[in-house]
Amino acid sequence: MNIRLPEQFIYTYRGPNNCAYVQNGILYIEGSLHYEDLMYNLAYKLHGYNTCYYCGKSLFQNNRTLDHIYPRSWGGVSLPDNLCPACKNCNNRKTDMTLYQFKRYLDLHSSEEKQQFYLDCVKKNKKIIEKQDFILPSDWVTLYDASTLINLIPFKYLDPTKLKKLENYYNYYKHFPHPIVVSSNGWLFKGKHILYHARKINNPIIPAIVLENVIVIKNTS
């Protein structure tokens, strides 16, 4: 997928050697940087800092958050297309609901109705997850041959607790909790634990979000 990008954007992380910038509709990344932080910065640049996407209230330092439009619990990863500024109150209330569900939730009047609607949504979403992979737009996700990735995964940095959790999830649902995220030239941003498990079970063809308008320029220094 092509992620939404601002026309102009420059981001640096721990010194000028690690940077990202937009040029002619492409996001170039040089050196190594913090993926989530980069995506949050892109989202704020696109959507602004000042208004809650859901209720329209003004945002200040003490109530400003970024919400995952498709929740993390249903496979939503951090992309500028999946992040919007939201007040703490909306973010807390939306939790595991999708955008469409949350809009309906906001239209309900009594707190009992709201509570029941929320529980129904979670139940419904769980059922969908049991049947298919993720609650994400289908054109975001493709099947990807992970053996073509260019950056080697530093497996020594894997978190054993995370791995165990992932393994349990996979054994239960028979798929991964979210797609991996890679650049157009095969650089892995998200999903090293998934990749490790995929290799372990000898299945390198895994769901991925390929960022077609993002190119990683390898830092050789």
Site for Zn ion in 58-87 (CB under 5 A): 87
Contact (Cβ atoms closer than 8 angstroms) between residue 209 and residue 140: yes
Number of residues that bind Zn ion (CB under 5 A): 6
Minimum Å gap between C-beta 108 and Zn ion is 16
Minimum Å gap between C-beta 44 and Zn ion is 16
Could you tell me which of 90, 87, 72, 88 has the C-alpha nearest to residue 169?
A: 72
135 binds Zn ion (CB under 5 A): no
Amino acid letter, 192: K
54 binds Zn ion (CB under 5 A): yes
By beta-carbon proximity to Zn ion, the closer residue of 55 and 150 is: 55
43 binds Zn ion (CB under 5 A): no
Pairwise CA distance, residues 180 & 141, whole Å: 9
By beta-carbon proximity to Zn ion, the closer residue of 114 and 124 is: 114
52 binds Zn ion (CB under 5 A): yes
55 binds Zn ion (CB under 5 A): yes
Give the neighbor-by-neighbor strand order of the sheet with 142-145.
142-145, 205-211, 180-183, 188-190
- In angstroms, the Cα distances linking 165 to 74, 76, 169, 172 are 15, 18, 6, 11
Contact (Cβ atoms closer than 8 angstroms) between residue 14 and residue 28: no
Return the half-sphere exposure (C-beta side, CA atoms, 13 A cut-off) of residue 9.
26
Pairwise CA distance, residues 94 & 114, whole Å: 11
By beta-carbon proximity to Zn ion, the closer residue of 69 and 208 is: 69
By beta-carbon proximity to Zn ion, the closer residue of 4 and 57 is: 57
By beta-carbon proximity to Zn ion, the closer residue of 65 and 151 is: 65
Minimum Å gap between C-beta 113 and Zn ion is 19
Minimum Å gap between C-beta 55 and Zn ion is 3
Pairwise CA distance, residues 96 & 69, whole Å: 10
Identified binder of Zn ion from the candidate list 90, 121, 211, 216, rule CB under 5 A: 90
The contact set with Zn ion (CB under 5 A) reads 52, 54-55, 57, 87, 90
